[in-house]
Structure 1
């Protein structure tokens, strides 16, 4: 074998790896001085300069002059992910389909929620997403590149082909949603479980920044989903179905869940039950939280009893998560975050009383920080994944 060819291949592999490393850092951390990139990568200044230059030529980063400082010497240029590179994010729900445009700088540029008034079929969701994307063409015209589409599905999604094996609240089963959406839109499409994508989004850009081991639980109209990060890596399982904490047992005397089991977390802790006790037919996350806060502050007995019941069952599920995964952080999103916010000290106390002391002693329970942007950012991150892994291709 020609040794020069081997050396060239090895050098090219290293260059591609370094390009991905630099792009990943500015994507996750935000704008950074080139001198800080040099420190973060351990590469020399000229190498970092060349890598940044190549990424700029590829249209993936921008360089700008830093703010004026009092430091002696020429200030280092600031490198930022180019927000004109975008991904489309999709989240089908039981009463709506949401489509967003998210920049490589993790900023949500646009979000459109299309109410359906009923549970959309997979085919209806494809048609809605395709129509919304057509309506977003003016926004996309300002983009220099569309990386693709990421879909956050409230259900079990087979990772390798985006087939929705089961999304019970959507009443979808064995739906090839990713391939159907790709055919309809012309964009590459990747799909995954919504809570797993939310966990990754919070790890990278929200309450979980800096945490290597965390559990994320989200509560919404479609039930309770969860995602687990272990050693800074999303825990997916062999087919991408790991983390279904919504179907852990919390009440052996409970009702039968749609999954077939008795007493699952999402049968005992639900947004629907909170809406009923508040006398509300429907509400978005902010309206539900305001209603809960007002009722609790007013001391309404039925609301206080329901909140107490749900918090206790939630604590039981979090005890299981704590004992099994030994996380440093549990992040609660959706209406679970609202429940926690009513009394931020209670849930940690209940979990500490039930979990193994050694597992709970370093545990923190926090509310998700990304709010309504979380699934848009999480789904976009899925679409950006191939680009971030191999910027040069």
Structure 2
């Protein structure tokens, strides 16, 4: 190989790295002036201009004129990730399959929750997701590119191939869900644990923005999951199973968990127990917030006692998370966010009393900001990952294949 050819390859590698850097900045940071990109990357103005022009040609960003400014000189054009480049997000649960369409700019264009009257098999969930995606064709018709599907699974997922090793509430064991969904839609599919994806979404776009060390716990119909960010990077473990704080021991005299252990966090702190004491069959986060607030305001003793009981066990788990990971931030999503909203000072006080003083001295406990969008945004990040790492023109079909029929309820 000649020296010239080696230099050419090195320069091309640098260009591709810089393309990914610029696209990542506008994807995660929002609309950015060219001058801000120049400052953030340390590249010169002409190089940034050429990179932005290439990303425009690839259909990944657009440029717009800046707003009015008091600064001297011509204002710099604003670079925006193109919302018409989309990823699909899928979240199978015990009572529904939710599908979203998310733009490269972070906009959740659509979110469709398809309720189910039974716990779905993996094959049923894949068929339902594919049918919902097919129903979203009018929305996808406005997209210039559909890059793929990201799946947020409430369970242990082998991220190398999207096999769900164990999702106890769904009763899935070693299910090749990513492969099934790819076959049903004709699109590339990546899957990961839902809480891990929620942690990434909150770190990049929500309450944890700019925070390098955080723990995210999500409470939903399928129990409690957690994701951990250490020094700006997700803690995955050797196979992607790290962060199972839902199975932290909080009550040695408690009930047996789905996992086989006694007194796990998710057996003692549950959405179902809250709904039962409130006399509700189901509630979305806003409805649960209102119901808890009304019950506590009226002094409903049963509800107040259940809130106190759950906060106590939650604090025990957060003590463990604080001592083990020494995070700057603990973010609570789903019904855990509703619990926190009822008595934020009480939860912080309980954790401070139990955790090591040095580990918790810089800790804040907050509610997730992204609400119902969190898993859609987190799952979409999986779908966008390959494009963000190597921006390129489309090489695969930009729309899903013909739908798979919805499975009939059992």
TM-score exceeds 0.5: yes
In the TM superposition, 1:362-377 aligns within 5 A as 362-377=362-377
Deviations 1:292-340 (A, max 9, x none): 1110111111111110000010000000000000000000001101111
**1:311, 1:116 → 2: CA distance?**
30
Number of the residue aligned with 1:351: 351
Instruction: Name the stretch that deviates more: 290-299 or 195-204.
Output: 290-299
What's the counterpart of residue 203 of structure 2? 203
- CA distances 1:40-91 after superposition (whole Å, capped 9, x unpaired): 0000000000000000000000001001222221110000100000000000
Q: Deviations over 1:189-222 (max 9, x none)?
A: 0000000000000000000001000000000111
Aligned pair 1:325/2:325, yes or no?
A: yes
Q: State the 1:392 CA deviation.
A: 2.8
Deviation at 1:151, TM superposition (A): 0.3
1:75 correspondence with 2:67 = no
The residue aligned with 2:401 is: none
Alignment partner of 1:282: what SS? coil
Which consecutive residues of structure 2, in runs of 5 or more, have no partner in the other structure?
Answer: 394-410
Shift of 1:269: 0.3
Distance 1:180 1:260 in 2: 28
SS in 1 for 2:260: coil
Task: Mark the runs of 5 or more structure 1 residues left unpaired by the alignment.
Answer: none
Q: Quote the Cα distance in structure 1 between the aligned partners of 2:99 and 2:304.
A: 36
The whole-number CA distance in structure 2 between the counterparts of 1:184 and 1:392 is 25
- Normalising by the residue count of structure 2, what TM-score does the alignment of the two structures yield? 0.95
Distance 1:279 1:148 in 2: 41
Identify the residue that residue 173 of structure 1 maps to in structure 2: 173
Q: Contact conserved, 1:147 with 1:383, CA < 8 A, in 2? A: yes
Match of 2:53 in 1: 53
Offset of residue 133 of structure 1: 1.0
- Counterpart of 1:259 in structure 2 is 259
Q: Does 1:243 align with 2:243?
A: yes
The whole-number CA distance in structure 2 between the counterparts of 1:282 and 1:333 is 17
Partner of 2:19: 19
1:213 corresponds to 2:234: no
Could you tell me whether the CA contact under 8 Å between 1:19 and 1:392 is conserved in 2? no
The residue matched to 1:99 in structure 2 has which SS? strand
**Counterpart Cα distance in 1 of 2:75 and 2:282:** 54
Tell me how far apart the structure 2 counterparts of residues 24 and 202 of structure 1 sit (CA, whole Å): 16
**Whole-angstrom CA distance in 1 between matches of 2:69 and 2:304:** 54
- Matched position secondary structure for 2:338: helix
TM-superposed CA distance for 1:343, in Å, is 1.5
Contact 1:16–1:392 (CA<8 Å) still a contact in 2? no
Deviation (angstroms), 1:379: 0.3
What does residue 311 of structure 2 align with? Answer: 311
Structure 2 equivalent of residue 40 of structure 1: 40
SS in 2 for 1:382: helix
Determine the C-alpha separation between the residues in 2 that align with 1:73 and 1:281. 61
**Matched position secondary structure for 1:43:** coil
RMSD: 0.7
Partner Cα separation in structure 2 for residue 365 and residue 188 of structure 1: 36
Distance 2:228 2:10 in 1: 35
Stretch deviating more after TM superposition (28-37 or 62-71): 62-71
How far apart are 1:120 and its partner, in Å?
Answer: 1.1
Give distance in 2, aligned partners of 1:70 and 1:197: 40
What corresponds to 1:297 in structure 2?
297
- TM-score relative to the length of structure 1: 0.99
Give the Cα–Cα distance (whole angstroms) in 1 for the partners of residues 368 and 282 of structure 2: 22
Where has structure 1 moved over 2 Å in runs of 4 or more?
none
Aligned to 2:142: 142
Q: Residues of 2 paired with 1:115 and 1:249: CA distance?
A: 32
SS for the counterpart of 1:345 is helix
Q: Please give the secondary structure, in 2, of the residue aligned with 1:130.
A: helix
Measured against aligned partners, the alpha-carbon deviations of 1:164-209 in whole angstroms (never above 9, x if no partner) come to: 0111111111110001110110000000000000000000000000
Map residues 98-109 of structure 1 onto 2, 5 A cutoff.
98-109=98-109
